[in-house]
Amino acid sequence: MKGSLDQALKLRLKTMIIAECEKDHITPAEVADHIQLFSEVCILELDSLDALQISVALQNQFGVRLPDSKAFRRHVTTINELADFIQPG
Amino acid sequence: MIAINGLGRHNSIPDQHQPDLAAELRSLSGKVYRRTDHFIQLAIIGAHKAAAGHELVPQTAIYMTSGQGNISVFDRICDQRHVRKELPRPVDFINLLSNSAGFYVAGHLGLKGKNLFVSHQHFPVQMALLAVQNDMQLGREQAALIGGVDEWIPRQDLAHTLLGLDQTTVLGEGSNWLLVGKRGKKALAHLAVTPRILDLRQLQQLLATVEPGTSLAFGKRLTAAEIATIMALTKGCPRYCYEEACGYYETLPLYVLTRFLAAEKGRLLHIDVSEERYMLMQVSTQD
């Protein structure tokens, strides 16, 4: 199954991002699947240090290595695209 | 000699768990900071209390010291790196830098002056105070916040081992701060640190000159025999007891000073020891 169709995977990703970035006042349900995570319209309001946190958490929890900022920007865009990257189906 | 204008004290003996300092910080200041850990929150709380009610000039310097530093994060990073073979969390890695807590304290209080973390294996508090004293005397600083911060960690066996203490020693945590400035009439007290490390003979010579009525406080590493010897040399000087109120941590001397100044009048001479070397500091509310 493609990651973007796997609700459990997407919930796990959202929960991980919220925990790693200490955005505990936000629930996973509030994070939209199709919104750019690093954009002004995203409820998470993430910054560059959050990107680093997420990158390391992805490696530790999913075994996904994003070696540089280019790779990170390419794959960590929306929850749907990140889920597809982790689980291409 | 420098003037003490403000005091901030946070001291506790946790039991099993680290207290929730994020909640305490929120209730104290209305603020909570993302990416801060227990050690950093501890530092902010103590500094906040010392600064409360004072209008700090932005150039107020920060001198912070700690015996063990951010030990819970250090322990977590060691576990991530060497046991679980994972990368450390970037925020943990950043917060492990000794001056990260000082960065957050400065941000919390809106300070833009010098920000130093003073490390010393034997006398962290005394050396930090000495650094402030020297900078004040040389005119490099007009005002400074000086804090000693040590946290309690649930892994008590590790803490006892790192501190070289018996496993039964009760450990505590604290964040004790002084707001200091140049000598002034409105000061709560004045502080002087003897600017050298003394051997026993030099200590005895200095003790012979202590004014009667000066209270004496002893670092927790002094033995009962050493204390008895010193008390015999300083007749007419009462002992200031604080030991029951706190567990051990390495920056306790700052707790002793702030505790005395919050409730007592007069002079207090604090005597500390490490490996048969001594350091003295004195506060007085009378000068």
DSSP letters, B255-267, are: HHHHHHHHH--SE
How far from B111 is each of B73, B105, B144, B257, B263, CA to CA, in Å? 26, 8, 10, 24, 29
Task: Give the rounded percent of residues in chain A with a pLDDT score beyond 70.
Answer: 100
Tell if the CB–CB gap between B88 and A56 is shorter than 8 Å. yes
Domains of chain A and CATH, by start: 3-86 (1.10.1200.10)
pLDDT in tens, B130-142: 999 999 999 999 9
- Residue B100: list chain A partners with CB under 8 A: none
pLDDT band with cut points at 50, 70 and 90 for residue B287: low
Go through the domains of chain B in sequence order and give each one's CATH number: 2-188 (3.40.47.10), 190-284 (no CATH)
Considering CB atoms only, which of A20, A21, A56 is closest to B87?
A: A56
Contact yes or no for A78/A36 (Cβ under 8 A): yes
Please state, rounded to an integer, the average pLDDT across all residues of chain B: 94
Considering only residues B32 and A27, tell me which one the structure prediction assigns the higher pLDDT: A27
Q: Report angle CA A12, A17, A23 to the nearest 5 degrees.
A: 120
pTM: 0.92
pLDDT band of B212, cuts 50, 70, 90: very high
Tens of pLDDT, residues B54-105: 999 999 999 999 999 999 999 999 999 999 999 999 999 999 887 899 999 9
Specify whether the CB–CB gap between B188 and B264 falls below 8 A.
no
- Tens of pLDDT, residue by residue over B174-199, are 999 999 998 777 899 999 999 999 99
Calculate the average pLDDT of chain A: 95
Instruction: Give pLDDT, residue B186.
Output: 84
Residues of A within an 8 Å Cβ radius of B: 20-22, 49, 52-53, 56-57, 59-60
Beta strands in B36-182 (DSSP E): 61-65, 115-118, 143-150, 173-181
Q: In what order do the strands lie in the sheet with B61-65?
A: B115-118, B61-65, B143-150, B173-181, B2-12, B189-193, B277-284, B267-274, B215-218
